């Protein structure tokens, strides 16, 4: 039986979390003299003088309807980067434990590991960017606490094989984190639907991509209630601002707009793929299940610099393993994509 309490860093087992008087009183009306706030108001038009709900209850209720999970299976953080960091801090003993990552992949797993003095074991994706499930399971040792799998993967853009992912989740005794930041751009079902099947699974999603809310910083982690109690106990008490909570709560009433934007981006993705493939400067456009393409070309760094000179900013991934001579290009608006293609054509 998987028990997250067996994986937790020993000194956190008996941690007494920060508590406030609002843990004892949850109503909205009352005379609040407990938190040393300004009782008069705030310097803005809106009243931000009160601390926000530390457990983001209203927002979680709404997200739980949309994602069909219990409110206690949701952790909300300041971007996905916060739950990633909290997972390290909760489960990985600095200088002792390790995690497995699958380069080329999202850079924050390693940065967060480095910040927390946790070793990363790298099990590369295959040449065609598929997960090496056997390699991952071989690389596991007694101090391996987590495996990070990004699908659709950044920067390659492809969704990884679910069979291979399932094999890792089934056979690894620690926590498997599946980062689904780009889930809205692919047509498979989210691993959220399999949380009951896999108690060692954590699924990350974000409001930064399809929802268009990168500026607000709101990331989600989904997992068993038992597991998520742990990051909830060690997070900063008011980790999400009231502005973020209220704005997103309102925006969720508009979720048809997200569906429309995703449909538009998928259409533009198909057109951009066709146009990129029509350029002789580009040798390969990797298939994308996300809102970006990894493209291969000669002298990627030079093309990157030339594009910057024209105020077209893409991401140079040419120093990343298995991405030699590759640029990562986000699907922009129609006009932006056209400008990109025009500038690339001039470089041919």
Ligand X SMILES: Cc1ncc(COP(=O)(O)O)c(C=O)c1O
**Interface with ligand X by CB under 6 A: which residues?**
79-81, 106, 150, 154, 179, 181, 206, 208, 214, 219
The residue number whose beta carbon is nearest to ligand X equals 79
Shortest distance (Å) from residue 267 CB to ligand X: 22
CB of 158 vs ligand X, minimal distance in Å: 12
Which C-beta is closer to ligand X: that of 7 or that of 101? 101
Side-by-side strand order, sheet with 119-122: 74-77, 219-222, 201-206, 175-179, 144-150, 98-101, 119-122
Instruction: Tell me the helix, strand and coil percentages in the chain, rounded to 5.
Output: 40, 15, 45
Give the residue from 245, 270, 83, 94 showing the smallest Cα distance to 180. 83
Nearer to ligand X, 275 or 316 (CB): 316
Q: Which residues have a Cβ under 8 Å from the Cβ of 43 and sit 6 or more positions away?
A: none
- In the block, tokens 């569906």 appear at 259
Nearer to ligand X, 8 or 326 (CB): 326
Continuous H helices in 180-333: 225-234, 242-252, 255-277, 300-309
CA 169 from chain center: how many Å?
18
Q: Would you say 244 or 275 has its CB closer to ligand X?
A: 244
Output phi, psi for 326, to 5 deg. Answer: -120, 145
Least distance (Å) from ligand X to the CB of residue 282?
22
Q: Given the DSSP bridges, would you call strands 98-101 and 144-150 parallel, antiparallel or unpaired?
A: parallel
Whether the bond between 104 and the residue before it is cis, its omega within 30 degrees of 0, is: yes
Q: Which two tokens stand for residue 31?
A: 């005379």
- The order of strands in the sheet holding 326-330 is 282-285, 292-297, 326-330, 315-316
Q: Smallest gap, in angstroms, from Cβ of residue 249 to ligand X?
A: 17
- Which residue number, 9 or 62, has a Cβ lying nearer to ligand X? 62
Residue with tokens 């996905």: 80
Q: How far is the CB of 167 from ligand X (least distance, A)?
A: 21
Rg (C-alpha) for the chain, rounded Å, is 22
Nearer to ligand X, 9 or 330 (CB): 330
Closer Cβ to ligand X, 198 or 292, answer by number: 292
In whole angstroms, the minimum distance from the beta carbon of 185 to ligand X comes to: 12
Q: What are phi and psi of 177, to 5 degrees?
A: -105, 120
In the complex, what is the shortest distance from the CB of residue 3 to ligand X, in angstroms, rounded to a whole number?
A: 27
Task: Compare residues 8 and 100 and give the one whose CB is closer to ligand X.
Answer: 100
User: Cis omega before residue 152 (within 30°)?
Assistant: yes
Q: C-beta of 22: minimal distance to ligand X in Å?
A: 26
Query: Residue 337's Cα: distance from chain center in Å?
Result: 25
Min dist CB 205 to ligand X, Å, is 8
Can you tell me which residue has the tokens 């094999």? 167
Of 8 and 155, CB closest to ligand X: 155
Name the DSSP class of 285.
E
């Amino acid at each position: 039986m998987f028990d997250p309490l067996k994986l937790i860093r020993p000194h956190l087992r008996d941690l007494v979390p920060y508590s406030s008087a609002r843990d004892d009183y949850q109503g909205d009306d009352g005379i609040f003299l407990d938190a040393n706030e300004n009782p008069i108001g705030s310097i803005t038009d809106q009243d931000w003088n009160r601390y926000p709900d530390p457990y983001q209850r209203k927002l979680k209720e709404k997200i739980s309807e949309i994602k069909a999970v219990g409110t206690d299976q949701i952790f909300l953080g300041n971007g996905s980067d916060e739950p990633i960091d909290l997972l390290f801090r909760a489960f990985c003993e600095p200088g002792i434990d390790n995690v497995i990552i699958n380069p080329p992949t999202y850079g924050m797993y390693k940065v967060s590991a480095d910040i927390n003095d946790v070793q990363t074991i790298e099990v590369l994706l295959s040449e065609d960017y598929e997960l090496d499930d056997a390699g991952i399971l071989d690389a596991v040792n007694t101090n391996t606490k987590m495996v990070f799998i990004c699908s659709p993967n950044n920067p390659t853009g492809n969704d990884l094989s679910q069979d291979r992912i399932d094999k890792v989740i089934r056979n690894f005794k620690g926590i498997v984190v599946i980062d689904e930041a780009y889930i809205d751009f692919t047509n498979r079902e989210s691993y959220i639907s399999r949380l009951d099947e896999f108690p060692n699974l954590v699924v990350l999603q974000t409001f930064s991509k399809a929802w268009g809310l990168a500026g607000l910083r709101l990331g989600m982690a989904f997992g068993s209630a038992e597991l998520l109690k742990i990051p909830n106990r060690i997070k900063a008490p008011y980790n999400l601002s009231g502005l973020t909570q209220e704005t997103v709560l309102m925006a969720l009433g508009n979720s048809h707009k997200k569906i429309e934007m995703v449909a538009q981006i998928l259409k533009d993705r198909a057109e951009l793929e066709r146009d990129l493939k029509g350029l002789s400067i580009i040798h390969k456009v990797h298939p994308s299940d996300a809102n970006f393409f990894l493209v291969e070309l000669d002298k990627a760094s030079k093309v990157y610099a030339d594009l910057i000179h024209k105020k077209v900013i893409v991401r140079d991934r040419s120093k990343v393993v298995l991405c030699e001579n590759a640029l990562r290009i986000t699907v922009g608006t129609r006009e932006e994509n056209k400008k990109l293609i025009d500038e690339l054509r001039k470089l041919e």
